[in-house]
């Protein structure tokens, strides 16, 4: 265990040579980042390559062209180049899967189940904006950094606890606390991605109000069953919809100006 801790501690200053405290450009929120953008992108590229091998890729040219068109407009609305980004939009043929994702390196995946539920380009665009916002805000790298720090903290507790009889209890308490903290960060990431992604969609000429109609469909699909807020990685759907309604109002002029171009 001591060797494990020393190894982790050695990684922190090494990571610090490449990065440190960063800021989410669109919100100004500070982040602790223990992974470089290039390393983060490489991890995203590897993960996307594996997903494409494991999932069935849709062959329908019309659906693929639609997602490519929407994705290209959202990526352009980001307004800056992302490190090592080579944008790629892939549709996976899974009618029962209500999911979409974006990975560092500009890799975006959409499942046909979500496309069929969303129906309109506006609804697809707000989902696309949300997923791309996770990448621009470097939420994956932030979670990686949080997990690394949690691992170091857990190892320190294990080594620093001389009372072997109570060591397991201390570790359990630490693990529960760090897990709840990580869940809270995940919820804040989702809320931040909603705010940033909705702006991307509006700037690309898509109606930000579509986020409300989309999440109402998602709520109906789920039947209202949700875990307790503090045990979930996502904010409660009702809370999320109310926040999206509030966010959409000041973005309407942005949307109307982009649509008029």
Give the pLDDT score at 136: 93
68 burial class (0-12, 13-18, 19+ CB within 10 angstroms)?
middle
Residue pair 152/5 in contact by the 8 Å Cβ criterion: yes
Transcribe 151-202 into DSSP letters.
HHHHHHHHHH---HHHHHHHHHHHHHHHHHHHHHHHHHHHHHHHHHHHHHHH
Kindly report the number of other CB atoms within 10 A of residue 204's CB atom.
23
**Using CA atoms, how far apart are residues 218 and 216, in angstroms rounded to an integer?**
5
Query: Which has the closest alpha carbon to 133: 159, 100, 163, 158?
Result: 100
pTM of the model: 0.78
Confirm whether 131 is a catalytic residue.
yes
Tell me the Cα Rg of the chain.
Answer: 20
What is the residue extent of each domain of the chain? 2-260
Q: Residue ranges of the chain with pLDDT lower than 50?
A: 1-19, 154, 156-158, 166-185, 227-232
Give the pLDDT score at 156: 45
Give the pLDDT score at 81: 81
Give the pLDDT score at 24: 92
The residue annotated as part of the active site, out of 40, 123, 131, 190, is 131
Query: Which has the closest alpha carbon to 210: 132, 129, 131?
Result: 129
Q: Could you tell me the two tokens for 72?
A: 């290209």
Pairing of strands 88-92, 107-111: parallel
**Using CA atoms, how far apart are residues 78 and 204, in angstroms rounded to an integer?**
9
């Amino acid at each position: 265990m001591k060797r494990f801790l020393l190894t982790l501690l050695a990684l922190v200053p090494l990571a610090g040579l490449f990065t440190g405290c960063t800021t989410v450009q669109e919100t100004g929120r500070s982040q602790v980042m223990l992974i470089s953008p290039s390393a983060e992108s490489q991890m995203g590229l590897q993960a996307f390559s594996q997903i494409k091998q494991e999932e069935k890729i849709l062959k329908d040219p019309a659906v693929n062209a639609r997602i490519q068109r929407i994705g290209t407009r959202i990526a352009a609305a980001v307004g800056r180049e992302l490190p090592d980004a080579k944008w790629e939009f892939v549709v996976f043929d899974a009618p029962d899967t209500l999911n979409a994702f974006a990975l560092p390196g500009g890799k975006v995946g959409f499942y046909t189940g979500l496309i069929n539920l969303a129906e309109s380009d506006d609804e697809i665009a707000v989902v696309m904006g949300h997923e791309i916002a996770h990448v621009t805000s470097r939420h994956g790298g932030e979670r990686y950094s949080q997990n690394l720090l949690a691992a170091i903290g857990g190892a320190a507790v294990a080594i620093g606890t001389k009372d072997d009889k109570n060591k397991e209890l201390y570790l359990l308490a630490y693990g529960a606390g760090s897990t709840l903290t990580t869940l809270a960060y995940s919820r804040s990431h989702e809320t931040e991605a909603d705010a940033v992604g909705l702006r991307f969609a509006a700037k690309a000429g898509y109606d930000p109000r579509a986020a409300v109609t989309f999440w109402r469909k998602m709520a109906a699909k789920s039947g209202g069953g949700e875990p307790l807020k503090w045990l979930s990685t996502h904010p409660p759907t009702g809370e999320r919809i109310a926040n999206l309604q509030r966010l959409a109002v000041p973005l309407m002029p942005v949307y109307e100006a982009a649509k008029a171009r």
